[in-house]
Amino acid sequence: MQSVEVAASWPVENVAVAVVSSPDGVVGTLGDQERVFPLASVTKLLTSYAVLVAVEEGAVEWDQPCGPAGSTVRHLIAHTAGYAFDKPEAQAAPGTRRIYSNAGFDVLASFVGEACEMPFATYLHEAVFAPLGMKSSALVGSAGAGAESSAADLALFAAELLSPRLVSPELVAEATSVVFPGLNGVLPGYGMQKPNDWGLGFEIRSTKSPHWTGNSSSPRTFGHFGQSGTFLWVDPEISAACVALTDLRFGPWAVEAWTPFSDGVRAELVSRRA
């Protein structure tokens, strides 16, 4: 794909891009697909998928109490438990605000690990990484921001999101639809969003502007970006996904580069199918 070549001009030392289309698989790449990068908050997609597996297995339930008083598993994974960004201290009542919280994901991961009787990092490996063949992926820190992976591995994960095998398509559809609709909140790097729509661990593009996905991305587009200079989005309207990993922290360069890049990738995908 010619559109992925644009990423070679980004002001980064190392970059790896993979574009996945269903049912074709990987249709475009750039850079070393096996190079391992820190994912930062793209980690939340992997953690969330492990939680989906735990829910489908019956190890945990969405409405189980977890976190601050009145909060549930569903609140924590959707950033509506009321926790602060970096510490498990309540700043709002559950379900009243969308407060993006790494701390909430750590509490959630501990809860799932206890329910499954193993460290959460082990559960993530056994529930997601091993079945999908993600051999270079590992959770080496926080469940909200401490995973590392390669473009090749995340392409496998993106293919799973497009055509689920580990959990039911119905559960993935629920997780990638808006929960607790209408809540406002800050999207890190992009400011206050009204509303700041989110699914069960997956950020939903909806009507947000500005946004890190393309201007042409459908409102149903979901995924996550990371402060380490990484992103993964899935646009179900075109049954395609894009992974980009870099070694330069998110900043103005990414705000300027990612949106037109994603627009270009999407346009080429649509054109190829016309």
pLDDT digits (tens, 9 = 90+) for 124-152: 999 999 999 999 999 999 999 999 999 99
Strand partners, 191: 187
Q: Is the peptide bond before 38 cis (omega within 30 degrees of 0)?
A: no
pTM for the full predicted model: 0.97
Cα separation, 91 vs 195, whole angstroms: 18
Q: 44, 157 in Cβ contact below 8 A?
A: no
DSSP state of 95: T
pLDDT for 274? 77
Phi first, then psi: give them for residue 37, nearest 5 degrees: -120, 150
Q: What is the pLDDT of residue 273?
A: 81
Residue 217 makes CB contacts below 8 A (sequence gap 6+) with 205, 211, 233, 235, 262, 263, 266
Question: Tens of pLDDT along 157-203?
Answer: 999 999 999 999 999 999 999 999 999 999 999 999 999 999 999 99
The mean of the pLDDT values for the chain is 97
Helices 43-57 & 151-162, crossing angle to 10 degrees? 40
pLDDT in tens, the chain (274 residues): 999 999 999 999 999 999 999 999 999 999 999 999 999 999 999 999 999 999 999 999 999 999 999 999 999 999 999 999 999 999 999 999 999 999 999 999 999 999 999 999 999 999 999 999 999 999 999 999 999 999 999 999 999 999 999 999 999 999 999 999 999 999 999 999 999 999 999 999 999 988 999 999 999 999 999 999 999 999 999 999 999 999 999 999 999 999 999 999 999 999 988 7
Q: How many CB atoms lie within 10 A of CB 110?
A: 14
Q: Supply the pLDDT for residue 42.
A: 98
Peptide bond into 219 cis (omega under 30): no
Tokens of 253: 């360069």
Q: Can you list the domains of the chain with their CATH numbers?
A: 2-273 (3.40.710.10)
At 68 the pLDDT is 97
H-helix or E-strand spanning residue 235? strand 230-235
Q: What per-residue confidence (pLDDT) applies to 203?
A: 98
Helix-helix angle 43-57:102-116, to 10 degrees: 30
